[in-house]
Chains A and B, each alone.
Chain A
Amino acid sequence: MKPRPFDYVRPETADEAVAVLAEHGDEARILAGGQSLMAMLNLRLADPAVLIDISRISELDTISDLGDTIEIGAAVTQNRLLAWPHLAAKLPLLAAALPFVGHFQTRNRGTVCGSIAHADPSSEIPLTLAVLEGEVVLRSTRGTRRLAASAFQQTMLTTARTADELIIAVRFPVLSGRGVAFREVARRHGDFAIVAVAALVENANTVRFGVGGMSGRPEVRRIASNGGSAVAAAISQLTAELEGYDDLHASARMRSDLLRNLGPVVIEEAIRCTA
């Protein structure tokens, strides 16, 4: 478990990182917290010629309150965000989901944007970003663009990022005073979820509902929340629509049943939260 040889570059600024990335494109990989990438390097599953370490770029290590959104830079670790004093007030759904991301030790290294970039289909941070309808900020030497979460994450471990683009931040919309709830089923605390569900109350009649672990990316739907049977029917319809998938820990059928079981629970919890 030793990586193949690679060059290591540690730029001081985001522009410098983007320049190195422009030069190497597909041959380069971005290293932030390294919680997925280092294991892949050691297993020789990833084979970059150049590793660009952005973890010490201070301009990316910022949490900015932009009023209607919170922008989190690419070097911000999950634990730093968890310790941000305004998290629960501004981003209560993220505050509920973050403790499920790995373990204390991995959150010390793992970054918020790293989870977004890795795009695991059952990962908590991408699910939260999808439910909040946030954005990913990408920069290249060609300029900066912002992509909606739904446009960014395409399918399992695949995103709309082009080879020369660096994720410099993600933006989570501030939706204060709305009821939220998050639940997941994992074999152990800190594991990737088998199925994760999140709910956000939009108004008296509508809940935004998201599920991870049922397809290649988080799925978000607006569900009419007036009456338990309507919710159950909507979840049932979503279960029929998403096929789930088989892996060592769960069958597709079990994933469907988890969604059917937990969807109404998390929605009810979010509504109770509003009241």
Chain B
Amino acid sequence: MLSPLGTSTVRKEDPALLSGRGRYADDLPVPAGTLHAHVIRSPHPHAAIVSIDASAAVGKDGVWAVISGEDVRKLSDPFLVALKTPVHQWSLAVDRVRYVGEPVALVVAESRYLAEDAAELVEIEYRPLEAVMDPLAACRPTAPVLHAEAKTNEISVRKFTYGDTKSAFAQADARVALTVDFPRLSFTPMECYVVIAQYSAAADSYDVLANFQGPFSTHPVMARALRVPGPKLRLRIPPDSGGSFGIKLSVFPYVVLTAIAARVTGRPVKWVEDRAEHLLAASSGPNRITEIEAAVTKDGRILGLRLDQLEDYGAFLRAPMPGPLYRMHGAVTGAYDIAHVDVTNRVVLTNKMPASLIRGFGGPQLYMALERLVQRIAVELGLDHIDVIKRNLVPAAKMPYRAAAGSLYDSGDYPRAVASATGDGRLDDLRRRRDAARAAGRKYGIGFAAVVEPAMSNMGYLSTLLTADARDKAGPKNGAVSMVTINIDPLGAVSVTADVTVQGQGHATVLAQIVAAQLGLKPDDVNVVLEMDTAKDQWSIAAGTYSCRFTPGTAVAAHLAASRMADKLKSIGAKQLNILPDDVELAHGKIRSRGNPDNAAPFGRIAGTSHWSPVMLPEGMAPALTETALWSPPELEPPSSDDRINTSLTYGFVFDMCGVEIDPLTYQVRVDRYVSMHDAGRILNPSIADGQMRGAFAQGIAAALFEEFKYDDEGAFLTGTFADYLVPTVSEIPPVEMLHQETPSPLTPLGAKGLAEGNCMSVPACIANAVADALGVRDVQVPVTPRRIHALIEGVGP
């Protein structure tokens, strides 16, 4: 029987999703008497809260409470963060507001309409303070300080040295340096945040339904804020989600806020974020300024690298920030074999909405700097860009490869991937198109980007931001535990639960494929239930759906659980079929003799044995009704004493190549041809993999050409609607030619790697490189908008 793994099984999720039968948080029934909440938000980027007078609002019929920062301070504690610094954040502003959109008060009423009407009656007096928006300005000693107790806005500076960078720079033929800005953006899910909270005074416990995505390391953060032990914060995640892309981690402050509202009113409380709130204050990727410099030989070999990364997290540092600065840390040298590297990581706070998780998570920022630098090396040395890439790629013979800052690249053949992508006449075709366009006086450029795509984060990576001494005192942090449970019902039907949250990826389908492959069943025979209940389901701090942990993590746990269940069923079957366990196979829905397939019993009959007839089990065997596997790969070690850290378990490879033409009349960038080569190890379901890659590509295009959160110098937010914050539609996404190479990971039994973030990392850099090539300019700021192109072409300010 052909294994269902590796085939494009039709998604189990689709019949419900495509026929309007998805069950999203806002659709689910709520208890009778549920109240509705509306958040009053700060109109100021920075101000002291002088007074809040809610008497008129509370006096309105149907209004149950107006909750302020003072109430929140009494009933909860500030959120925990990894960085020990006196920056305190509650679920509502306390004493001071620090960004436009910051929650200041919560109105709880019998309908959302009433709550919004009452909000207009709440009188809040502010004393405006000077705001600081520019991350460089925020680091100056004269800058207004956001958190007085921290004494500075630059709340963390860590310097790392790997190898002998000093000598590398001393020996170099040349140095090439560049400063690169990466902007703020989000990937706005169609469904915004939803929280429904209940409080039990009898048990002093909270029961909350929220479209939270994980990581579940945030669960203790929420429980601690609410001053209850973990089990007293029961968190349920609905069966469907209208997208997440990292953004739905940041519902967590609202989980706490809505829970407090339930406690204050004694009623269930529901809060549904609207689009205006979402754009203004839900979440953003952090903006980063990178100063990057390479020491190079005259033929373009990079001997050493220096990066100074200043990342702007907005008004507060929220768990698990500053993740984007450290998630890529072990792989900071990207796809290149560079032994000597210095890294300085700086965390700065400004009066913007707090930054957090977003698909790509630190990768787009890193590769924009690194890949732009490689293009500059080619320009400044008079070399071909593709030759500089080839000269520096990690050679296949060095795999598995320990990168300078500690990542263990598990497998891959980068040079072969580049050769295949540029081969078959593809690069020649791009060059022909470029030459023809340029001959006709048009502006055409070719861009490349090579990126290493990490997957399944080491829970210890964030502790790299502490000094080795501080880490010693705190004790090691590492690993990433994945968990899956397989259950068998009395008639032998198989069901699966797992430690992921649903966001539309198709995990139920792939889990069914994995389990079916081990049990000799069809994927349709395996029922997968992924709505999550922290009181009853298996989870660790690593649980959730983020940083491509499913394929190297949860999928492996499913494989292990299914293998163990299969072994037990073989023993049970052997006894009933009167054959040796080695002769038993699970195939075609039967448990049968390999040598004599006619000696067989239906899967269900033997699988149900543990329910009905434990007497028939092999001697000493515990009933085989449920199997939970935990997968904790040993390669995810804590940071070493010299700050080397293997930040992720698997490392895929993406190589992109594109040609763009710039319209001199309209200043628009047209992507003429785009080729993207992926090596994500073994592919478990090609059509789902393709969907993930195309989604990441579309969001890469969004970051390259369209999406940007903008504030003015005084701190006003300029992109508060979808007319200002431009999400590309299908008309704006160019075709992409996806190519694949499969180099299985030796570190997981399935050999599969993560693949859903690579194009978010590669596309902005690749397009920026092509634009730089087309216009012959040094500095290219993404998104490359017509306004920016106009400024570059006409030589005027943007």
Contact = CB atoms under 8 A, between A and B. Distances in A.
B706 interface: yes
B113 interface: yes
B731 A251 contact: no
A254 B791 CA distance: 8
Contacts of B113: 2-3, 5
B274 interface: yes
A192 B731 CA distance: 15
Interface in B718-746: 718-719, 723-724, 726, 728-729, 731-732
Contact of A250 (B724, B726, B787): B787
Given A2-B112, A189-B731, A194-B786, A257 B668 contact: no
Contacts of B710: 248
A249 interface: yes
A57 interface: no
A191 B723 contact: yes
A191 B729 CA distance: 11
B24 interface: no
Nearest to B796: A253
- Residue of A191, A192, A254, A258 with most chain B CB atoms under a 10 A cut-off: A254
Given A2-B112, A185-B786, A188-B706, A262 B666 contact: yes
The B interface is mostly helix, strand or loop, or mixed, namely loop
Contact of B276 (A1, A194, A251, A265): A1
Contact of A187 (B277, B706, B790): B706
- Residue of B274, B667, B719 with most chain A CB atoms under a 10 A cut-off: B667
A205 interface: no
Given A1-B275, A1-B276, A192-B723, A251 B787 contact: yes
B110 interface: no
B281 to A, nearest CB: 14
Contacts of A251: 787, 790-791, 796-798
Interface in B768-798: 785-787, 790-791, 794, 796-798
Contact of B794 (A185, A191, A192, A253): A253
A230 interface: no
A189 B113 CA distance: 34
B718 A248 contact: yes
B274 A1 contact: yes
A43 interface: yes
Contacts, number: 72
Interface string B631-644: 00000000000000
A233 B613 CA distance: 96
A7 to B, nearest CB: 15
A56 interface: no
Interface string A183-217: 00101111110100000000000000000000000
Contacts of B116: 1-2, 44
A253 B276 CA distance: 30
Given A1-B276, A258-B666, A262-B665, A249 B787 contact: yes
Contacts of A261: 664-666
Contacts of A190: 729, 731
A86 interface: no
A188 B728 contact: yes
Given A248-B718, A248-B719, A253-B794, A4 B665 contact: no
A219 to B, nearest CB: 20
- Residue of A44, A188, A250 with most chain B CB atoms under a 10 A cut-off: A188
B786 A187 contact: yes
A185 B798 CA distance: 18
A194 B666 CA distance: 10
Interface size class of B (residues with CB under 8 A): 20 to 34
Contacts of A191: 723, 726
Contacts of B724: 248
Contacts of A5: 113, 117
Interface in A94-152: 103
Given A249-B785, A265-B665, A187 B726 contact: yes
Contacts of A43: 276
Contacts of B794: 253-254, 257
Contact of B732 (A103, A188, A192, A250): A188
Nearest to A246: B787
Contacts of B719: 248
A123 to B, nearest CB: 13
A4 B117 CA distance: 7
Contacts of A257: 790, 794
A74 to B, nearest CB: 25
A189 B785 contact: no
Contact of A189 (B275, B666, B732, B791): B732
Interface in A1-48: 1-5, 43-44
Contacts of A254: 667, 786-787, 790, 794
Nearest to B725: A248
B786 A250 contact: yes
Contact of B729 (A4, A189, A250): A189
Contacts of B785: 187, 249
Contacts of B666: 185, 258, 261-262
A192 B791 CA distance: 21
A265 B664 CA distance: 13
Nearest to B719: A248
B702 to A, nearest CB: 11
Contacts of A192: 723
A65 to B, nearest CB: 33
Contact of A249 (B274, B276, B786, B791): B786
Interface string B103-114: 000000000110
B668 A185 contact: yes
Contacts of A3: 113
Nearest to A189: B731
B792 to A, nearest CB: 12
Contacts of B718: 248
Nearest 6 CB-CB pairings of A with B: A1-B274, A261-B665, A189-B731, A254-B790, A2-B113, A185-B666
6 contacts: A1-B276, A187-B785, A191-B726, A248-B724, A249-B787, A254-B667
Interface of A: 1-5, 43-44, 103, 185, 187-192, 194, 248-251, 253-254, 257-258, 261-262, 265
Interface of B: 112-113, 116-117, 274-277, 664-668, 706, 710, 718-719, 723-724, 726, 728-729, 731-732, 785-787, 790-791, 794, 796-798
Given A3-B113, A187-B785, A251-B798, 9 more contacts: A1-B274, A5-B113, A185-B668, A188-B729, A189-B731, A191-B723, A251-B797, A254-B787, A258-B667
